[in-house]
Amino acid sequence: MERAVEGPIWAITATYSEADNLPELARGMLELAEQLGRPPKLLIVDDNSPDGTGEIADRLAAEHPEAFAVLHRPGKMGYASAHQMGIGYALDRGAGTIITMDADLSHDPGCIPAMLEKLREADVVIGSRYVPGGGTVNWGTDRKILSRTAGALVRLASGLDVADPTGGFRAYRAPILHAAQFRQVRQEGYAFLSEMLFRCMRAGATTAEVPIVFVDRRFGRSKLSRRIILEAVGHLFTLAWRRITGWRP
């Protein structure tokens, strides 16, 4: 059964040294006005970037206050906590729909209308690299293997029936985020993404996927670290135990 996509629609992105990418992301978001009437409001959560990303974000918010907002944090505090803070900030201001996306241009704003359309029949929509029509660009063999393996292990441990459980380009209905108690998530990186999805599913969410082509960053360096990968591996055992015991958030 189709349901209306509730608004206001906010998009959350976490930044650390994304000065080369943020202006192009902003242009892509503003262009959505032609399709949606009004673009989602992009909340930029910046971790005191040394390259001036925060100043660019401030300028965007001053020039287009209806389309951009900024949260400044004192230092590099991590992907997960930035998204948690951003989601909470948007929900506290009446957001009915939350989109999460990366700032490095790997997530194309042009996919957002299709995700919102799919949200009419689901509580969570994933921009998926691994459904027909999806894919990756500029990835080496090692990264493809890592991503595929991570997804397979998450599905095995958690029982999640989605092709891309570690994808971070998502659209959520606000009620399912509250039901999933997103503020209690403590994981980072891949583990944060699988934990968020697992909590939503355990809270009764329906899910859907739309194809995206993930383009590896052109500027800057990846924030993925060995610690994040090891944490994700450890989190698999937590997911498996919760699945066995019937845990609910």
Q: Which CATH number do you get for residue 219?
A: 3.90.550.10
4 in any annotated domain: no
- pLDDT of the residue at 158: 94
140 in any annotated domain: yes
Q: What distance in Å separates the CA atoms of residue 248 and residue 246, rounded to the nearest whole number?
A: 7
Total structural domains within the chain: 1
14 in any annotated domain: yes
Helix/strand/coil for 160: coil
Q: What is the pTM of this model?
A: 0.93
> Given a cut of 80, is residue 14 above it in pLDDT?
yes
Q: How far is CA 216 from CA 37, 54, 76, 199, 201, in A?
A: 29, 22, 22, 28, 28
The pair of three-digit structure tokens given for residue 1, joined into one six-digit string: 């059964």
- pLDDT of the residue at 139: 87
1 in any annotated domain: no
3 in any annotated domain: no
Q: What distance in Å separates the CA atoms of residue 239 and residue 220, rounded to the nearest whole number?
A: 33
Q: Could you list the residue range(s) of the whole structural domain that residue 167 is in?
A: 9-245
Q: What distance in Å separates the CA atoms of residue 93 and residue 51, rounded to the nearest whole number?
A: 29
> Given a cut of 90, is residue 171 above it in pLDDT?
yes
- pLDDT of the residue at 219: 52
47 in any annotated domain: yes
Give me the mean pLDDT over the 202-219 stretch.
89
Q: How far is CA 140 from CA 108, 131, 148, 161, 233, in A?
A: 20, 19, 12, 26, 21
Q: Contact, 107 vs 11, CB < 8 A?
A: no
2 in any annotated domain: no
93 in any annotated domain: yes
